[in-house]
Structures are given as C-alpha cells and as structure tokens.
Structure 1
C-alpha cells in the first residue's frame, strides 16, 4: 500500500471520529439556550470541529478525484428542494452563532449537477461564511444565461482586494490572501470544473457587495 493510500485511510478514520464529536456538540447546543454566555466556548469548539471536518471531506474528495475514483454524476435536480436541504443542514449552526440564514431560489428552478459534490462545496462556504459574516448569510440559486449560479453572501468585511484582483477571467486564482484557505478555493474550483456542457466549463467567482455588503462566493455550472 502506498503512503498516500495510508494517509487517505487515516483521514477517513479521523473524519468519522470527528463526526461523532460534532454530533455530540450539536446535541449540546440544541438543548441549550443560545443566549447563555456559558455556551460560547462550546459553540466556538463546534465551529472549529465543523471547519476541520469540512477540510477532511475536501481532502478525501480531492484524493478520490486525483485517483479517478469518483467523477461528477450529473443528474436532473430540483434546485429549490436541494437548497432547502442545505439550509436545514446548516441552520442550527447559524442560529447557535446568532447568524440569520436566508435563502433565495425560484421554486420551479431545475438544474443538472452532482448533488453530493455541490452540497459539499455549499456546506463549506456556509461554514466559512459563519466565521466571517457579521450577522447575515444569504444562500441563493438562479439561472443566469447558460449557467446555474449558486451564491453564498455575507455582510462582513468582504474579500481583500488582493484576493479579488488575483482572479483570472476563467475563475482561477493565482494568489490567495490570508484568511480564506487555498484548500477551500482549490476544492470549489475543481468541483466546478468537473461540470461541463459542450464547450462550457464550470468556474468560481469572488466579489464584494453583490446583494449583501460583504463577500460573495459564487459557483457557476453550465
């Protein structure tokens, strides 16, 4: 067995153990009052545990992609239902951090994408948004031209200018500023690019002041 196979196995075990920790922390915060200041250290621990778990999921997914063990499984998806599920998965964490989580989506919107891969991207974006926003997060989906666009926006300080200027026209990022991890951007960009339709390929985009006053991370799927 090669070293990276051993490493992937260890990451998988770590992720499973961490999931048990997160489940326990979720139960504790669900039973507690969000106004109780004594819960602040537990909520902070919960946030970090979920962030680490998302990183482990990203690493395992990238490992499987690089070794051609998974590929994008494109299906016809009811986007409104899909987005509702993503919101439900993240609502308790948002409420525990006093964040108002909002969604916008046409109830009749349908798209073609890999639900599992895009769900992982959106969960990671919402998790990061909870860390960087002031008190609001907007998760939306819309058809724009030939692309289905998912956006996660916050009302925090936004992306640093050097991070925005590092973008290339195709959604690539030559340099990354501190605060937002290389892994998260690479993962989202890789997942977007796995979605292709004819001569069009998915990409990601960073901007500020889209609908909310902070940063806006979007993933464009053809």
Structure 2
C-alpha cells in the first residue's frame, strides 16, 4: 500500500468536507436571529482555520510530490488584493491597506504566493493587529514584498526561529517558508525574514528572485 498516496487522498477529502462544513455554517449564520450570531461565529472561525490548514496540507503534499506550481509574470497588487479579501471577510474590523503600485511586477506562482500572503495577513489579525500594511518593490532582479502590522510584534524566540504553536507560528510560517523556498532559482535563493518595526508591530519580508 502506498501510504503517502493514501494520506494525500485523505487530506484532500478532509479539505472538501471542511469546505462543506464552512458553507453550512455560513448558511446557518444567515438563517438564525442576530442574537445567536456571537455563539456561532467562534465555531465558524475555527472551522475556517482548520479548512485553511487542510488546504495547506494538500499544497504541501503536492509540493513534496513535485506538483506543477510553475511561475509566470504576475502582479503583486492583484495577488495582495485577493489575499486581503480572503481575510477581510473574517476580520471586518481590521484595516488591510494594500500600498502596492499596480505597475509593480514579479515572476512567481500566483496561487502559492496568495496563500502565503493570506497566511501572513491572517496571522497579524489573529495576533491582535488592527492595521495591516502591504507593500512591494522591484529591487534589481528581485521582488521584495512586506507585510507589516501594528500588533504586538514577534517574540525573541520567534525571531530566532524557535516557533511554538501560537497565532504567529506553527504550521503557518513553516508552510510559508516552503512556498518561498519553492521560488528559489539556481544560484539565487528566495527568502522570508521576520523582524519587528521600530514603531511597534511585526514585519515579514519576502524576497523573490
């Protein structure tokens, strides 16, 4: 028996089942009186998070199996917009500011980078940030993308790479590192760096060659 293939199939089915649960939860939220929404929203939020983790596992499996995640010309402003929209639905009180110029261009897999940005924006919101700032610039042959926020920032352990199971680490950052590593080219490594802003808050810098 090919256990890797079996695990991949189970995870893929789990992702689909969780998507159905999320859909049912959203329909339930629309159907019940407003006074019950506060009891339903935590369940729906956790289910969305587990569904996102399942999607990441499927993508990780495909990456390890050398799935077809080819790069192409892409526009970071559009990628960031799509990622922001995914998170804004769950955190309507968080301001997500996309400051990326529409003419800024990169060469990457749009699907993978959108998932990475969604993770980072979601992590900032979960950590307590009320404002999240997205920026990007072309620096020589590199594309540099930054996700910054006004939250509590990273701990010293997180900055040194000692991730624990909290809202800013665990599988999310590990998943993002694999995505960024996937965009490395011969002799030119892609990277993800964590730092804290001088004025307070976290900053994640993605560099794609």
Partner residue of 1:157 out of 152, 158, 161: 152
> What is the count of residue pairs matched by the alignment?
208
Gaps of 5+ in 1: 167-172
1:77-156 aligned at under 5 Å gives the runs 77-95=74-92, 98-156=93-151
The answer on 1:57 being equivalent to 2:55 is: yes
Counterpart-to-counterpart distance in 1, 2:186 and 2:203:
27
Counterpart-to-counterpart distance in 2, 1:119 and 1:112:
13
The answer on 1:213 being equivalent to 2:177 is: no
Provide Cα deviations, 1:81-122, integer angstroms capped at 9, x if missing partner.
222222223222121xx2122211011111100011111111
Counterpart-to-counterpart distance in 2, 1:115 and 1:152:
17
How far is the alpha carbon of 1:76 from its aligned partner? 0.6
- Contact persistence 1:51–1:124 (CA under 8 A): no
The answer on 1:74 being equivalent to 2:61 is: no
1:7-46 aligned at under 5 Å gives the runs 7-27=7-27, 38-46=36-44
Counterpart-to-counterpart distance in 2, 1:30 and 1:199:
52
How far is the alpha carbon of 1:178 from its aligned partner? 4.2
Match of 2:4 in 1: 4
CA gap of 1:116–1:127, structure 2 versus 1, over 3 A, is: same
Higher mean alpha-carbon deviation, 83-92 vs 14-23, is at 83-92
Counterpart-to-counterpart distance in 1, 2:150 and 2:100:
19
Runs of 4+ in 1 over 3 A off after TM superposition: 24-33
Counterpart-to-counterpart distance in 1, 2:149 and 2:28:
27
Counterpart-to-counterpart distance in 2, 1:138 and 1:186:
22
- Contact persistence 1:194–1:201 (CA under 8 A): no
- Contact persistence 1:160–1:177 (CA under 8 A): no
- Contact persistence 1:153–1:216 (CA under 8 A): yes
Q: TM-score, normalised by structure 2?
A: 0.86
CA gap of 1:99–1:37, structure 2 versus 1, over 3 A, is: farther
How far is the alpha carbon of 1:29 from its aligned partner? 5.7
